[in-house]
Amino acid sequence: MTSTPIIDAKNISKAYGSGTGRFEALRDVSLRVHRGESVAIVGKSGSGKSTLMHIIALLDVPDAGTVSFAGQDALSLPAKQMSEVRNKEFGFVFQQFFLTPGASVLDNVTLPLKIAGVPGKLRKERGLAVLEQFELADKASNKATDLSGGQKQRVVISRALVNEPSVIFADEPTGNLDSATGRVVEDTLFDLNRDLGITLVIVTHDEDLAARCDRQVFVHDGVIVSESRKTEDAA
């Protein structure tokens, strides 16, 4: 691919702690992600894969290196503008659902719209539309705690989609689900990538899930050790 990458991270380093307790999570890592691509960041626990995702998703700041989004230096943006990019352009799906237990399903889904200042009536319309897409509209007034694991993760995906993002970041999105439900969630994410052109970045230790992505990036001890592509893409 020769087009400008939607995400371009160069020479990223990140460490935690100090002295003898210092831990280098990433060491001079560079990664490009192109628009419409599905990329798996693969590695064992502690490899640095989640730290890499958090940095390219502008949830964390590296000690060294640059991160560009759509050709713009994202790390040089004022905090407010960086938050706006994150809220408008990115959707997040995590292993832990991070749903507000006492709030309704609809309120959970429309939270990004509320943060963005979208009026209440439009928030409700867009929230219900995305819940309808995932066959959850009848659960809109339910409390998030009343749902099954698979339903909760579909609510999380609905919330990730409600702002019509350019990129969805998914960190171990099926980790808390049984295999059948996990497969449904996987299918949903890849359908969004294929049908809507949403760029998909998945952090996982599951090689079967990684194999469904266009490209696999393998991280070990804070560095990218190899990359591979789906067989059909290599032809």
234 part of a folded domain: no
Evaluate whether residue 235 is within a structural domain.
no
Distance CA 92, CA 45 (A): 20
Residue 208 in domain: yes
The count of domains in the chain is: 1
Hunting for tokens 């079967």 — which residue is that?
A: 208
Radius of gyration in angstroms for the set of CA atoms belonging to the chain, rounded to a whole number: 18
- Alpha-carbon gap, residue 146 to 129, rounded angstroms: 21
Q: Is residue 134 part of a domain?
A: yes
* Lowest-confidence segment of 31-45, 129-143, 173-187 by average pLDDT: 173-187
d(CA 11, CA 31): 9
Residue 109 belongs to some domain of the structure: yes
Query: Mind listing the pLDDT tens digit for each residue in 12-61?
Result: 999 998 888 889 999 999 999 999 999 999 999 889 999 999 999 999 99
Is residue 2 situated within a structural domain? no
Furthest CA-CA distance within the chain: 54
The residue segments making up the domain with residue 94 are: 7-229
Which pLDDT tens digit goes with each residue over 98-121?
888 889 999 999 999 998 889 999
φ and ψ at 38, to 5 degrees?
A: -115, 125
For residue 28, the domain's CATH number is 3.40.50.300
CA distance 43 to 216: 10
Kindly report the backbone phi and psi dihedral angles of residue 52, in degrees, each rounded to the nearest multiple of 5, phi listed first. Answer: -60, -45
Residue 128 counted as domain residue: yes
Report if residue 71 sits inside a domain. yes
Q: What pTM was computed for the model?
A: 0.89
